[in-house]
Amino acid sequence: MTVSAPPVGPSDQLEPQATRPSGAARLLRLVPAAVAALSGVLLYVSFPPRTLWWLALPAFALFGWALRGRGWKAALGLGYLFGLGFLLPLLVWTGVEVGPGPWLALVAVEAVLVALVGVGVAAVSRLPAWPLWAAALWTAGEAVRARVPFGGFPWGKIAFGQADGVFLPLAAVGGTPVLGFAVVLCGFALYEVVRLALDRRHVREVSRSAAAIALLGVAVPVVGALAARPLVSDRAEDGTATVAVIQGNVPRLGLEFNAQRRAVLDYHARETERLAARVAAGEVAKPDFVLWPENSSDIDPFAYADAAAVIDKAAKAIGAPISVGGVVERDGKLYNEQILWDPVKGPTQTYDKRQVQPFGEYLPLRSLLGAINENWTTMVREDFSRGSRPGVFDLDGTKVGLATCYEAAFDWAVRDTVTHGARMISVPSNNATFDRSEMTYQQLAMSRVRAVEHSRTVTVPVTSGVSAIIMPDGRITQRTGMFVADSLVQTVPLRSSETPATRLGILPETALVLVAAGGLGWAVGAGLRGRRAR
C-alpha cells in the first residue's frame, strides 16, 4: 500500500522559525561577556586601598572560564571587557581634575593591550598545562604595557595589588613579573582544577596528568611564596639611620596646586622648623637627614634667592641635610629635580627625574591634542626634560636611592638605585592634583612591593598624603593622613645585600616572555596542523 505524504500546511511552514534561539538562549550567550566584565571588576576590588588581595584568584579563574576554547574574535571582545572592568575603576583618578576625556582615552588604549592578551590566552587554552602558558602571556602583556605607548604605563600590574598577600615574598625572587605571574597562574589553575573536577563528576575521562598539573599550578605559587619568606627581612646590615619625612600639605586641592608654589614651599619649611623645635625639646630624635616630597619647591631655588633662603633657613633649623623636590630650569630645559641641600654648604647634589609622565609632565602629540581641545595643551604648557643618571644621594654617609613618584611604577627605575649602592630608597611624590582618590594608596602599595623586592627601607614623602615609612619586609610602621601637615621620624635599618630579584634584573621577565612566545607558537602551529588535517 502506498502512503502519500501529507499536505504541507501553514504550521509546517513555520517549523524552521521554531528552531531559532529563544530569549533565554540569547541571554545565555551574553553570560561570558558579563563574566569577563565582572571578573575585571573583581580584580579591581582586590587592589588597594582594600586588602582583598585574594580576590585576584577568582577573578582570573572566571576570566579563564570565559576565554577557554574561544575563537580569536570572541576572545578579543571578552579580553576588552575584562580590561574595561578592571581599568575603568582603577584609573578613575586620572580624570579627577581634567575631566573624563583623558581617563576614558587612557583606559580605551590600555584595554586594547589587555584584549590582545585575551586572544593569546584563548589560543593556548587548548594546550596541555594551559594555565602556565596563559599566565606567562599575561606577564608578557604587562611587559608591553610597561613600555608602550609613550614609554609605557605599568599602573595596574598584578604585583601592585599583592602588598598584603601571601605571594609578596616572591617579589624578592624575581620582582614584579614573578610575583604577578604566580598570582595569575594560581588563578587560572584554580579554574582548571574546578573544571576537571566537574568533568569527573560527569563520568568523563580525566587525565591524571592533567589533574596533577592543574593542582601543581595552584600549589607551586603558594609553596614558592612560603619558601621565599627567608628572603624577607628587616634586620639592619649596615647600621641604622634616623630619617625624617616631611609632609607640608597644600593650601587647596586640585591642579591649582601649581599656582601655589610659594605657599607650598613655605608649608614644608614651616613643618621642618616645627620638627626642629620638637627635636630641641627632646620630644623626638634628631634626624640624620630630612626628606621633602616632589614639588615641595616649585620655585627654582637656583634662580630665586628668596626660595633658596627659605630652604636654607629650614636646613639650618633642623641641622641636617634636606632632599628638596624642585622644578628647575637649566640650559633652557625644565627638570623635575631632587636637590640635596646641606645646612652649611647649600645645594650639593641633584637628581633629575628620568621617567617623566606623559600628559602630566610632557605632552605627546601636542599639536593634535591642541586641535581637539586647547585646554589640554594649557595644562602642560612646557615639557619636562629627562635626566640621565640614577638618583643616589650620599646623605652623611648613607646612600639613599631616589625614585620620583611615577618612577616607582617602573622596575628599572627603582632597581638601578640599589645596584648603584643605595642602602635605602625614597619615593618623593606629589599627589595633590588627585584629590582624595585611591591613587595615593595604589602608589603606596607599589612602594611596599619595592621594599620587599630589593630588601630596602622605603620612605614615601608626599606633599599632601599619604606619606609613610616602610620596612624592608613591606610593613608600614608610620603613616600620615591625607591633606594634613605632619612629619615622621624613625630610626630605620640600612641594608646592602641584594635579593635575587635585584641581581637578576630583567631576566625573569624575559624568561616569562619567552615562555609566552613558546606557548603561543605551539598553539598557532597546532591550529595550522588541524586545518590541514581537515
Active site residue 294: yes
DSSP 39-73: HHHHHHHTSTTS--GGGHHHHHHHHHHHHTT--HH
**CA of 302: how far to CAs of 183, 290, 307, 309, 330, in Å?**
48, 20, 8, 11, 9
Q: Which of 406, 19, 398, 385 is nearest to 238 (CA)?
A: 398
Taken in order 85, 86, 87, 92, the sign of the CA dihedral is: positive
**Sheet-wide strand order for 468-470:** 391-395, 398-402, 424-426, 457-460, 468-470, 476-479
Selected catalytic residue, list 405, 407, 438, 509: 405
**CA of 18: how far to CAs of 13, 15, 53, 132, in Å?**
10, 5, 48, 44
Amino acid identity at 140: A
Selected catalytic residue, list 97, 110, 294, 407: 294
Q: What are phi and psi of 114, to 5 degrees?
A: -65, -40
Active site residue 286: no
Q: What are phi and psi of 138, to 5 degrees?
A: -60, -45
Selected catalytic residue, list 97, 142, 186, 353: 353
Place of cell 633649623: 317
Amino acid identity at 21: P
H or E stretch covering 411:
helix 411-419
Taken in order 328, 332, 334, 339, the sign of the CA dihedral is: negative
- In terms of C-beta distances under 8 Å and separation of at least 24 residues, what long-range contacts does 260-264 make, across chains too? 261/297, 261/298, 261/299, 262/299, 262/307, 264/295, 264/296, 264/297, 264/298, 264/463
Active-site amino acid positions: 294, 353, 405
